[in-house]
C-alpha cells in the first residue's frame, strides 16, 4: 500500500483543496482509536487517509476500508496532502505518476455505485472473480468481443496490471471492479449473466468463513445466471473441490459437470506452476436450469434523525451485538469538532459483513460507499438507527 513516513506535519485549516483533492476535515480518535483520519473528496468520491503514530514518526496512508482504485489516485492524494501539511518526510514508496494512468483507469475501472444504479444490460455479461494476472480474462474478452466482461479483484497491483493490458490490447468489452465478489453478486439483476468464472480461489483452509464459495453464493449465482448459464469452479485444492462439491449437492435441483486435469483454452500463471509441480486440477461446472424472480435493490440506507446522542458517547461499547440473522459491531469513534463525529463499524451477515463509517455532520450518513442492500445489511441498518437515536 502506498504510504509516507514523516517526522512532522502541520494540521491545516479545512476544507482545503490541492491538485483536485479536497481535504474536508481531520478526525481525532476518542474512543477505541489512537489514530487520526482525514476526510477527502475526489471527483465526487470520498475516502479517508489515516495518520498513525509509529515511534517518534507518523505513517500516513490510505484507510483500507475506503481507499479508491487505481493505486495511482491514492499516491496523488498522499502527495497533495503532504504539500498542504508541509510534511517533514523520512520515507515514501510513491513511484512516479503519469496522468495517462489515471485517464486509463477512468475508462475501465468502475466503482460499486456504477453497477448498483446502472447495471449494463446491452450485452450478455460474463463475470470473472479474482482475475489475478488477468491472462484468462483477457483471452476470453479477445475471443468473445460481443460479450461484456466484468472482472473482480481486490489485489491492487493486479488491477493496475490488468488496466494496462486492456489499454495496450485495445479491448473495449471489459469493466473492472475492486470489490468483494460475495457482495457484488447480490446486487446483480436476475437472469443477465452467461458465465461466472471462479478460478483458483484462495482455499482459506484455516478460515473457511472467508471463502468465496458458499451456499449463499451458489444460490445468488443461480439467480443471476440465465437459463443455460454456467458457474465454473476451477481449483488445484482437493479440499476446496470436496467442500464445493458438497455445497453444490445440497441444492434441491441442479446440473453438474465434473472434470479432472482437462487442459483449458488458456491457463493462468498459477495453473502453469501447479501443473509443473504435478498437482491435479479440478473443474466443477454448474448449469442454471430456470428463470429466477427479479430482485428489489431499491433500499437507500438513509438515516432519518440528526445528531449523535450524548448517551451513546457516554456508553460507547466495542462489544459486538449479535442478533439472529445479523450482527452490529461499533469499533471506533472519532471527533471532528463539537458537533461532528465519525463512527467506524461493521455489521450485517456473519460471513460477509459490511465494513464502513458513519459521518455525523450533524445528520448521519455513510461516508464513502453506501452498504449493499442485502437482507442482513438492511436489517442491521434499521437496528443501528434505533440504537443511535432511540
Q: What is the pLDDT of residue 309?
A: 83
pLDDT at 343 over 60: yes
- Print the domain residue range for 371: 310-389
In-domain check, residue 110: no
Q: Report d(CA 35, CA 349) in Å as an integer.
A: 27
Q: Bin 204: left if φ > 0, else alpha if -120 < ψ < 50, else beta.
A: left
User: At what angle are helices 156-169 and 71-85 packed, to 10 degrees?
Assistant: 120
Q: What is the pLDDT of residue 112?
A: 84
pLDDT at 165 over 60: yes
Q: Report d(CA 291, CA 191) in Å as an integer.
A: 6
Of 92, 112, 128, which residue constitutes the final position of a domain? 92
Q: What is the pLDDT of residue 99?
A: 46
201 and 55 share a domain?
no
pLDDT at 70 over 90: no
Among positive and negative, which fits the CA dihedral 150, 154, 156, 161? negative
Residue of 385 and 118 predicted with greater confidence? 385
335 and 277 share a domain?
no
Q: Report d(CA 248, CA 230) in Å as an integer.
A: 13
In-domain check, residue 169: yes
Q: Which residue is associated with the grid cell 474512543?
A: 31
130 and 216 share a domain?
yes
Q: What is the CA radius of gyration of the chain?
A: 22
If one counts the domains in the chain, the total is 3
143 and 59 share a domain?
no
**Average of per-residue pLDDT across 145-162:** 92
259 and 320 share a domain?
no
pLDDT tens-digit profile of 109-132? 888 888 888 888 788 999 999 999
Q: What percent of the chain has pLDDT over 90?
A: 66
**Average of per-residue pLDDT across 351-378:** 91
* H helices present in the chain, as ranges: 71-85, 99-108, 112-117, 135-143, 156-169, 181-184, 215-224, 238-249, 269-276, 310-314, 375-389
Residue of 291 and 271 predicted with greater confidence? 291
Cell of 146: 460481443
Q: What is the pLDDT of residue 352?
A: 79
280 and 316 share a domain?
no
In-domain check, residue 141: yes
pLDDT at 199 over 90: yes
241 and 385 share a domain?
no
330 and 251 share a domain?
no
The CB density around residue 20, as the number of other CB atoms within 10 Å, is 13
pLDDT tens-digit profile of 85-115? 999 999 999 875 454 444 555 688 888 888 8
In-domain check, residue 100: no
Is residue 175 within 8 A of residue 108, CB to CB? The reply is yes
In-domain check, residue 297: no
In-domain check, residue 114: no
**Average of per-residue pLDDT across 250-270:** 89
141 and 270 share a domain?
yes
- Residue 72 pLDDT grade (very low, low, confident, very high; cuts 50, 70, 90): confident
- Concatenating the DSSP letter of every residue in 39-86 gives EEEETTEEEEEEEEEETTEEEEEE-TTT--SSHHHHHHHHHHHHHHHT
Q: Report d(CA 27, CA 358) in Å as an integer.
A: 12
In-domain check, residue 99: no
**Average of per-residue pLDDT across 13-34:** 96
3-state secondary structure of 382: helix
33 and 129 share a domain?
no
pLDDT tens-digit profile of 308-318? 888 889 999 99
pLDDT at 8 over 70: yes
In-domain check, residue 266: yes
Q: Report d(CA 194, CA 227) in Å as an integer.
A: 8
Residue of 296 and 152 predicted with greater confidence? 152
Residue of 258 and 309 predicted with greater confidence? 258
Is residue 336 within 8 A of residue 30, CB to CB? The reply is no
273 and 156 share a domain?
yes
14 and 83 share a domain?
yes
Amino acid at each position: 500500500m502506498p504510504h509516507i513516513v514523516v517526522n512532522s506535519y502541520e494540521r491545516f485549516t479545512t476544507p482545503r483543496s490541492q491538485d483536485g483533492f479536497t481535504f474536508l476535515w481531520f478526525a481525532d480518535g476518542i474512543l477505541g482509536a489512537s489514530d487520526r483520519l482525514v476526510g477527502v473528496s475526489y471527483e465526487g468520491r470520498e475516502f479517508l487517509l489515516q495518520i498513525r503514530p509509529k515511534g517518534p514518526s507518523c505513517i500516513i496512508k490510505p484507510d483500507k476500508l475506503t481507499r479508491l482504485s487505481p493505486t495511482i489516485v491514492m499516491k496523488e492524494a498522499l502527495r497533495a496532502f503532504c504539500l498542504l501539511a508541509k510534511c517533514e518526510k523520512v520515507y515514501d514508496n510513491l513511484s512516479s505518476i503519469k496522468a495517462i494512468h489515471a485517464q486509463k483507469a477512468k475508462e475501465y475501472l468502475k466503482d460499486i455505485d456504477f453497477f448498483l444504479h446502472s447495471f449494463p444490460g446491452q450485452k450478455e455479461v460474463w463475470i470473472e472473480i479474482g482475475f489475478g494476472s488477468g491472462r484468462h480474462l483477457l483471452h476470453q474478452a479477445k475471443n468473445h468481443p460481443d460479450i461484456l466482461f466484468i472482472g473482480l479483484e481486490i489485489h491492487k497491483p493486479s488491477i493496475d496490471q490488468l488496466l494496462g493490458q486492456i489499454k495496450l490490447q485495445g479491448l473495449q468489452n471489459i469493466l473492472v471492479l475492486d470489490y468483494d465478489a460475495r457482495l457484488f453478486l447480490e446486487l446483480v439483476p436476475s437472469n443477465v449473466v452467461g458465465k461466472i468464472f471462479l478460478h483458483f480461489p484462495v482455499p482459506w483452509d484455516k478460515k473457511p468463513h472467508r471463502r468465496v464459495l458458499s451456499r449463499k453464493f451458489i444460490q445468488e449465482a443461480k439467480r443471476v445466471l440465465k437459463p443455460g448459464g454456467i458457474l465454473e469452479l476451477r481449483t488445484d485444492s482437493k479440499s476446496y473441490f470436496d467442500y464445493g462439491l458438497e455445497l453444490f449437492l445440497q441444492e434441491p435441483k441442479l446440473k453438474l459437470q465434473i472434470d479432472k486435469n482437462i487442459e483449458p483454452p488458456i491457463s493462468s500463471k498459477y495453473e502453469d506452476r501447479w501443473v509443473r509441480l504435478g498437482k491435479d486440477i479440478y473443474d466443477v461446472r454448474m448449469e442454471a436450469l430456470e428463470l429466477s424472480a427479479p430482485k428489489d435493490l431499491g433500499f437507500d440506507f438513509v438515516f432519518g434523525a440528526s445528531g449523535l446522542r450524548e448517551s451513546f458517547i457516554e456508553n460507547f461499547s466495542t462489544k459486538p451485538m449479535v442478533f439472529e440473522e445479523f450482527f452490529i459491531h461499533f469499533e471506533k469513534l472519532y471527533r471532528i469538532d463539537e458537533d461532528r463525529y465519525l463512527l467506524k463499524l461493521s455489521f450485517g451477515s456473519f460471513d460477509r459483513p459490511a465494513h464502513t463509517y458513519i459521518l455525523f455532520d450533524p445528520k448521519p450518513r455513510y461516508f464513502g460507499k453506501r452498504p449493499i442492500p442485502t437482507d442482513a445489511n438492511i436489517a442491521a441498518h434499521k437496528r443501528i438507527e434505533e440504537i443511535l437515536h432511540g
